Structure 1
Amino acid sequence: MHHGDFSSPLADETLKRINGRIAGAHEQIFRSACLLLTFGTSWVYEQKNTGRIVGNCHKLSEKEFTRRRLTVDEIVSDYVSLLSGLLARNSGLKVIFTVSPIRHVREGMHANQLSKSVLLLAVDRLQAAFPENVFYFPAYELVLDELRDYRFYAEDMVHPSEVAAQYVWERFSSACFSPETLQIIEESENIRRALAHKPFHPGSEEYKRFLGQIVLKIDRLNGKYPYLDFQKERELCHTRLKI
């Protein structure tokens, strides 16, 4: 919970924002049908004087921490406890695990592969422990085994390229979404692309009619699916219509 969205000149305000988000997530997760969790690396920093694993070193000296790789048993133990608690409150929850294809190369490529292997084995154990609730989507394998080429990585050779990310998204969509959901995504994307259009004459009547058509599309889609949030898109349309 260290994203810039929580930043404030006042420590109390920052803490309030963080705790507010945690409380909201805590409430939402027990009403959710699906939870998607991505493992990135099994390398962690452990604070020497407490033995606790930290999520952020907060610019403290590296000497205060031990960097080590978690074991499969450690990960499984923590997540069995976590998932058991979640499922006790929300028995229908489906949990989809993925392993990130982003390379963590500080220790070298071989160490990265060992780290990813630990994560994959841990997920496999969790699937066996919760066969009705835990699933695995092979994002890692799609990038490394199906795409299999450095042209699908960004210039840093660590992060997947936009093309690779889109490929994984399309495979995930086809595997996990219903035809109705795919249709909603397509219509929403059409609205997004239309709003991304940059007109030569933003004050023209033609462009205002174009914006009016977008508003109608939003209204139709929202009429069928009231839970969709198009507030920002509506505001953008109305702002442009006033030009």
Structure 2
Amino acid sequence: MTALSTPITLPPAPPSLSFGDLILSLGSCFSEHIPSYLQAGGMEALINPFGTQYNPLSIARTLSRILEGKPFEGKELIQHGGLYHSLLHHGAFSRVTSGETLEAINTSLCGAHTQLPRLRYLLLTWGTSYVYRLRETGEVVSNCHKLPERLFIRERVEVPPLLSVWTPLLRELLELQPSLQLILTVSPVRHLRDGAHANTLSKATLHLFTEELQRLFPDNVHYFPAYELVLDELRDYRFYAEDMAHPSTLTQRLVAERFVGWALDEPTQRAFAEAQRITSELRHRPLHASTEAHTQRLERLSARVRDFLSRYPLAKLPSPESHL
């Protein structure tokens, strides 16, 4: 019987990821799925400290700001709809006062900047090559915050302008951390606002851009084919959410499992699976949390956590005591 699938062979893996290695993930909403899965297995990941971003130019601005570590100032905010916003941040950072907004975004910025020396993996997920520029300044924004569309120019950016921004940025980053491993992915989320053909052109631009970065930085830049896994190996609408554009929860998990099998060596994969089971049990919420049986269950889990951490002291697991 013919298998109704196109198996995807993964490319050569980068140096193996281990417990204690910090991962920074930047990019579209799909960039949250893999690192969240890694966190459940005891890995340490910092996910989108400025919120979700979709195009490479916005992601470059974020990475540059994290490298610089310069706090945001009130003049960089805009007020709209009763809230203060940063055009470089997701709306989750917006607050009623400018002071509250600055506190939220600068706390996250400081945390990311402080962690940079520990960074081992940088996971970058491109969502689209279309950008929104503020018409008045030409500045590429990450989020329009429902401002009037007339204030922005929307355009598709080609490979050369993307390379002109990212090449010096990666050189600067790799001068500071020569052993840093960059994992590039293209989001399989379909952006259909302009039609299927325009979405294909946008994704093709991202693939060509990724290939050029691999050519320029062959020892540090790797490609993980999340896009191909969804569009080819899982080519069926069963693997999409109801909007038929976003991958379903099952698809997210399947892709994350393939990533773990690619980026972790076999002994670490076994430990990862054990950590996942412990984390899953810790996250379980019983119907009656005040019973003696629940307390005894948490005590047993606490012993399992201590045993695991005695063998893998750099792993990150939730604390059972927080549920007592």
Q: Which moved more, 1:75-84 or 1:196-205?
A: 196-205
Q: Counterparts of 1:8 and 1:232 in 2: how far apart (Å)?
A: 31
Give the one of 80, 99, 102 matched to 2:186. 99
What is the letter of the counterpart of residue 53 of structure 1? V
- Matched residue, 2:201: 114
Structure 2 matches for 1:182-193, cutoff 5 A? 182-193=269-280
| CA displacement at 1:199 relative to structure 2 | 4.3
Partner of 2:295: 208
Query: 1:49-128 maps to which residues of 2 (within 5 A)?
Result: 49-128=136-215
**Structure 1 residues 31-84: Cα deviation after superposition (integer angstroms, max 9, x where no partner):** 211110000000111122211211122332111111110101111221112111
Q: Which moved more, 1:210-219 or 1:23-32?
A: 23-32
2:261 is aligned with 1:164: no
Matched, 1:16 2:111: no
CA distances 1:173-216 after superposition (whole Å, capped 9, x unpaired): 11111223322321221112223445465444443322211010
2:288 & 2:188 partners in 1: Cα distance? 43
1: distance between equivalents of 2:278 and 2:173?
36
For 1:165 and 1:57, the matched residues in 2 are separated by 27
How many Å separate the matches in 1 of 2:261 and 2:116? Answer: 24
2:22 counterpart residue number? none
Query: What amino acid sits opposite 1:70 in the alignment?
Result: V
How far off is 1:139 after superposition? 0.1
Question: Residues 74-104 of structure 1: CA distance to partner in whole angstroms, max 9, x if unpaired?
Answer: 1122111211110010000010000000011
Cα-Cα RMSD: 1.9
The separation in 2 between residues aligned to 1:10 and 1:166, in whole angstroms, is: 38
CA distance in 2: counterparts of 1:10 and 1:127, whole angstroms = 43
1:22 to 1:197, Cα distance in 2 relative to 1, 3 A: closer
1:203/1:50 Cα in 2 relative to 1: closer, same or farther (>3 Å)? closer
207-216 or 35-44: bigger deviation: 207-216
- Identify if the C-alpha distance between structure 1 residues 52 and 224 changes in structure 2 by more than 3 Å, giving closer, same or farther: same
Number of equivalences: 237
Is the Cα–Cα contact under 8 Å of residues 130 and 156 in structure 2 kept in the other structure?
yes
Q: Contact 2:188 / 2:246 at 8 angstroms: preserved in 1?
A: yes
Structure-2 residue corresponding to 1:235: 322
Q: Is the 8 A contact 1:30 1:86 kept in 2?
A: no
Counterpart position of 1:46: 133
Q: Distance in 2 between matches of 1:131 and 1:164?
A: 29
**Aligned-partner Cα distance in 1 for 2:310–2:98:** 43
Whole-Å Cα distance in 1 between the matches of residues 114 and 291 of structure 2? 47
C-alpha separation in 1, matches of 2:165 and 2:174: 14
Give the secondary structure class of the aligned counterpart of 1:157: coil
Q: Which has the larger radius of gyration?
A: 1
Q: Given that residues 31 and 90 in structure 1 are in contact (C-alpha distance below 8 angstroms), is that contact kept between their aligned partners in structure 2?
A: no
TM-score after normalising by structure 2: 0.68
What is the match of residue 224 of structure 1? 311
Report the TM-score, using the length of structure 1 for normalisation: 0.90
SS in 1 for 2:119: coil
* Residue 91 (structure 2) pairs with residue 33 (structure 1): no
Whichever residue aligns with residue 255 of structure 2, its letter is V
Structure 1 stretches lacking a partner, 5+ long: 239-243
Q: Percent identity?
A: 45
